[in-house]
Each structure stands twice: as C-alpha cells, then as structure tokens.
Amino acid sequence: MTRRCFLFFPCFAPSAPMFTLELRLAGSDLTATLHNRGKTAQRYFHHAMIQPVTLTLVDSSGRTVKPEDRREIAKFDNTPYKHLYQTLAPGAAVTLLTTPVSKGALRWGPLSWGDLAPGRYTATAHLDHQIHQWVDRETKQTGSWSDLWRGSLTSKPVTLNI
C-alpha cells in the first residue's frame, strides 16, 4: 500500500502487525514460530491446553479434516497463571510447537488426526491470542496485562505429504 502525505497532514500507512505466526516444514518436522515484529518487547501467552496454537488440515479435495481434540475429554487446570506469560524481545522469535509428520497420522499439541489417507494436505496454524488476565499461583491475586496484545494470527499454508 502506498503512503499518502500532504503538506499539512502527517503520513499515514497501515501499521505492521505486532506478531506474526510462521508455520514451516523442515525435514519431517512441522514447526510453528511466533515472531515479534514490534519495536518493543511484547508479552504473550501460549499454553498447549489453555491457549494453544492450533492447526487446520485440509485434504487434496479441499475438505477440512476434523481432528480429535483431547481438551474436550481431558481434565486439566485451565487457570492462566501469571508465570505462564512470557516476554519476547523486539525482532525475536520463539518456537511454540514442533512435531514430526508421519505417514497416516499427525499429532499437534492437543489435536490429533489418525487414519489419514496417504496424499497431500495443506496445513495452516492459528493462534487466537485473547487471554490477558492472570492469577498469581502463590498469592491467588488476580490481575490483567493492559498492554498485552490481543488478536488472531494465521500462518501461510504449508503442503504436507502424509
């Protein structure tokens, strides 16, 4: 998009996203990475059961393959404790999840696909970053991060041969 400037008005351009989510396949490993594109350190929350990076898997006919989500049947503490929030330096990246891609099955955090027919699939990672309140595990005090970025991220699709 082109920046438009006028003599008496400042230049306005779309701001770059604070975070981006990258999904890549290296060898047989599928990896989701969170990048801080901002100019300051940013706090984020990622937890495999509470606020995971999820995966959409689409087969070669364009049909979304529904995974089993173990969070639906698992019993777990879903409290967003203060110590679970992390800070990512400007320009830095953190790996959120890495999993091997194998023939016939795929496991991605709490999601799993079994009995996948051999073929090409398209995978896209998603992170719905909405949780901003926390609980201190020791004092039981609650609070929130007013400066915590909230939003949804989607990676570019990656082709998998399963």
pLDDT (0 to 100) of residue 97: 97
Q: Over its length of 162 residues, how does the chain's per-residue pLDDT go in tens digits?
A: 444 545 555 555 445 568 999 999 999 999 999 999 999 999 999 998 889 999 999 999 999 999 999 888 777 788 899 999 999 999 999 999 999 998 999 999 999 999 899 999 999 999 999 988 999 999 999 999 887 888 999 999 999 999
Decide: 75 and 49 in contact? Cβ < 8 Å. no
Residue (of 136, 110, 113) closest to 46 by Cα position:
110
pLDDT (0 to 100) of residue 148: 85
pLDDT (0 to 100) of residue 152: 96
In the chain the domains, ranked by start, together with CATH numbers, are 18-161 (2.60.40.2970)
pLDDT (0 to 100) of residue 6: 52
CA atoms within 13 A on the CB side of 46: 25
* Cα–chain center distance at 60: 24
Fill in the amino acid letter for 34: L
